[in-house]
Amino acid sequence: MEDKVLIAKDMNVYYSEKIAVRNVNIAFDSNKITAIMGPSGCGKTTMLRCFNRIHELIPTVRVEGEIILNGRDILKMDPIEVRRKVGMVFQRPNPFPTMSIYDNVIAGYKLNGFKLKKSHADEIVEHSLKKANLWSEVSHDLYKKGTFLSGGQQQRLCIARALAMNPELLLLDEPTSALDPISTLHIEELLVELKKSVTIIIVTHNLAQAGRISDYTAFMYLGELVEFGQTEKVFTNPQDERTERFLTGKFG
């Protein structure tokens, strides 16, 4: 299991007494993109949010089982440390509105109380923006507010902000659903490039997107992991009738 970055074992997630994710067992390969798909309300986002413990911002949510990140159970780690190791990008671009592009990129360091020398901060900002394919577009405007950027640029800024902490895993929750097709293409190309240096898990409603960029696909239905495998196999030869019905548009 050495090449598995994240392993969930017997994972159950409850909202108060209602079970939202039931008995999930899944392991994610290093330097691959895994797409999590399924109809609305099936537990995709709930599961994703457990992987960096952001679910704990909702007091009624409870998680059972184990979530092992590179050999350590994240449920037993300090959540701040977990969120440094596991970056997250949300559905709508959310740069910090009062911060410049520069400060947005290093926001994680400031929020965690890290003191960075100016030269080191400059280096992190440039490196992260280059990794997010944004440097050439914003290098002359680093001290403008991040909210001045287009939607697609804002989302790449949010990716740069996540990458700045050097995460072991990058989670994305429908990161292109609020973007136009051109911006979506830019993000997809970026993710394929980024998997060389970070493992990626993406929740997407977009079947074509999952088919284009993911190496593995997980299909969830009513809180259960129905099917998981290489994307090509899941798409061309699904093993479960519910997966087939979803892929052919019978529900979802």
Domain ranges of the chain: 4-247
Residues 6+ apart with CB under 8 A from 116: 106, 109, 124
Q: Percentage of residues in the chain with pLDDT exceeding 70?
A: 99
User: How far apart are alpha carbons 223 and 70 in whole angstroms?
Assistant: 25
pLDDT tens digits along 160-185: 999 999 999 999 999 999 999 999 99
pLDDT of residue 224 exceeding 70: yes
pLDDT tens digits along 72-129: 999 999 999 999 999 999 999 999 999 999 999 999 998 888 889 999 999 999 999 9
Average pLDDT (221-232) is: 97
Does this model's pTM top 0.85? My answer is yes
Nearest to 66 by CA among 27, 15, 10: 10
Phi/psi-derived region of residue 86, left when phi > 0, alpha when psi is between -120 and 50, beta in every other case? beta
* Residue 250 binned pLDDT confidence (cut-offs 50, 70, 90): confident
User: How far apart are alpha carbons 206 and 177 in whole angstroms?
Assistant: 8
The class of domain 4-247 in CATH terms is alpha beta
